[in-house]
Amino acid sequence: MVAITGIGVISPSGIGLEQYWGNLKAGTSGVTVIDLFDGIGTPGGIGGQCREFNDASIKSTYLKSQRKSIKVMCREIQLGVASANLALEDSALPMDQIDHSRLGVEFGANLMLSPPDVLCDAAFASRDENNEFNVPKWGSTGLFKLEPLWLLKYLPNMPACHIGINADARGPSNSVTMDEASGNLSLSEAKSIIERGLADIMIAGATGTRLNAVKSMHAGLWDQLASGPTPGEASKPFDLNRNGQVVAEGACSFILETTEHAKARGAKILGYLLGTGASCVVDHNGQPNFKQALINAMRAALKKAKLKPEDIGSINAHGLGSTDLDPQEAAAILEVFGSYGKEVPVTAIKSFIGNTGSACGTVELAASIAAFADNLVPFTLNYKTPDPACAINIVRGEPVTPKNKIVMKLSVTRLAQAAVSIVEGV
């Protein structure tokens, strides 16, 4: 089995498992009015911002050992690397005693976009006599107006690079860029690497944001975005009156080890990664089929974990808050779980923090693992009016006690790439 021996989470609802779970248990939303930049393109200017992750804390606490590299890290990279540092600290891994050739990194990220002000000078220098952008001038003139290390700040493989360098990880290293599926896919590949005997320890996780200046504009153009009487009431997955997602940022890393390695060093084991599954389903016109993708991924994860649906104690849903996707997710759960699908407790952590993009799989799974310390399942914030189209057992009002500590985490992208992880808490 693959053991989870450390978790580092940076979320809009807190940094570190204790603060994060404390806020979720208390019903405190991490969704607020954003002040990261001017002109966020969301209703009311709201989002899930990691407010405690500020300039001072980044340099003095979370990236202290990498101060010289901060200049080549955009905010998403900073979040991801800091979460890995927190996870390593949480694991109490003896870095001076381990075999670093048996330590690897598997990390997920968004496609990273430069803020407009970073590209302005280069774009303006590429204009022709008609004041229009001229492609040849970009190569001859505009490109030289960019900061010299521009590219390194926005490559989605750079979180894994910085994490690997800092941890002196000489084992397998890989990056996953699959939007909201990235976190679960990273856990899946890290588990596979360990089981193939290629590593004893893997740093696995994801970083993500939809709070980038350009991405927030994309969200305003492409997505159904939530609004509410107050920022904290906007995200309401599976509720009859849901009206879209809330954009957010965050990162979460897991330290995975062979059970033998973890026990040999006397590690604190937080849980076991039992199985994973993935599937992407689109029709011949390229239209996504969220329901079937989730069904396939759930069944694959159950098969790999050698479990039956009724063995699952709770489900940590994708729970986007979309009027279209939520019913398909609920239908997928009912298809896989049958009558038990109306009984198994389901929670949706995006109700507290919003959609952290590529990070949502690991950030939200961390909530369930943290809750297991109290033998609880987190509740879904803002769930007030059941929707007949989402006839599943949404945990509401307060946390509940599950029949066991086995959780299934669901994630799916707008293109119906689904990824599922099953974890057993201790």
Question: 117 pLDDT exceeds 90?
Answer: no
Other beta carbons less than 10 A from residue 350's beta carbon = 29
Residue 351 is predicted with a pLDDT of 98
Q: What percent of the chain has pLDDT above 90?
A: 90
How far is residue 203 CA from its own chain's centroid?
A: 15
Q: What is the pLDDT of residue 38?
A: 83
Domains belonging to the chain, first-starting first, are: 2-113+153-425 (3.40.47.10), 116-149 (no CATH)
Query: Is residue 44 predicted with pLDDT exceeding 90?
Result: yes
Q: What is the pLDDT of residue 41?
A: 81
395 — pLDDT class (breaks 50, 70, 90): very high
pLDDT of residue 1: 84
Q: Where residue 24 falls among pLDDT bands split at 50, 70, 90? A: very high
Structure confidence at residue 266 (pLDDT):
97
Looking at residue 417, its pLDDT comes to 98
pLDDT band at 123 (very low <50, low <70, confident <90, very high): very high
Q: So what's the pLDDT on residue 59?
A: 85
pLDDT value for 277: 98
pLDDT tier for residue 66 given thresholds of 50, 70 and 90:
very high
Note the pLDDT of residue 39. Answer: 77
Q: From CA 277, how far away is CA 51, in angstroms rounded? A: 33
Q: Is the pLDDT of residue 28 over 80?
A: yes
How confident is the prediction for the chain on average, in pLDDT? 96
pLDDT-derived band at 55 (thresholds 50, 70, 90) equals confident
Phi and psi at residue 159, to the nearest 5°: -55, -45
Of the listed ranges 63-67, 100-104, 416-420, the one predicted with least confidence: 63-67
CA angle (391, 395, 398) in 5-degree steps: 155
Q: How confident is the model at residue 147 (pLDDT cuts 50, 70, 90)?
A: confident
Please give the pLDDT value at position 37.
87
**Per-residue 3-state assignment (H helix, E strand, C coil) for the chain:** CEEEEEEEEEECCEECHHHHHHHHHHCCCCEEECCCCCCCCCHHHEEECCCCCCHHHHHHHHCHHHHHHHHHCCHHHHHHHHHHHHHHHHHCCCCCCCCHHHEEEEEECCCCCCCHHHHHHHHHCCECCCCCECHHHHHHCHHHHCCCCCHHHCCCCHHHHHHHHHHCCCCCEEEECCHHHHHHHHHHHHHHHHHCCCCCEEEEEEEEECCCHHHHHHHHHHCCECCCCCHHHCCCCCECCCCCECEEEEEEEEEEEEHHHHHHCCCCCCEEEEEEEEEECECCCCCECHHHHHHHHHHHHHHHHCCCHHHCCEEECCCCCCCCHHHHHHHHHHHHHHHHHHCCEEECCHHHHCECHHHHHHHHHHHHHHHHCCCCECCECCCCCECCCCCCEECECCCECCCCCEEEEEEECCCCEEEEEEEEEC
- What confidence score (pLDDT) does residue 408 get? 99
pLDDT of residue 229: 95
Range in 80-84, 87-91, 137-141 the model is least confident about: 137-141
**Tens digit of pLDDT for each residue in 288-309?**
999 999 999 999 999 999 999 9
User: Across residues 88-113, what is the average pLDDT?
Assistant: 97
Give the residue-averaged pLDDT of 329-340: 98
What distance in Å separates the CA atoms of residue 419 and residue 276, rounded to the nearest whole number? 7
Average pLDDT, integer, range 93-122: 95
Model pTM greater than 0.85? yes
Least confident of 7-11, 119-123, 166-170, 275-279: 119-123
pLDDT at 254: 98
**In this model, does residue 79 exceed pLDDT 90?**
yes
What integer pLDDT is reported at residue 148 of this predicted model? 86
pLDDT digits (tens, 9 = 90+) for 237-257: 999 999 999 999 999 999 999
Give the pLDDT of residue 40.
Answer: 82
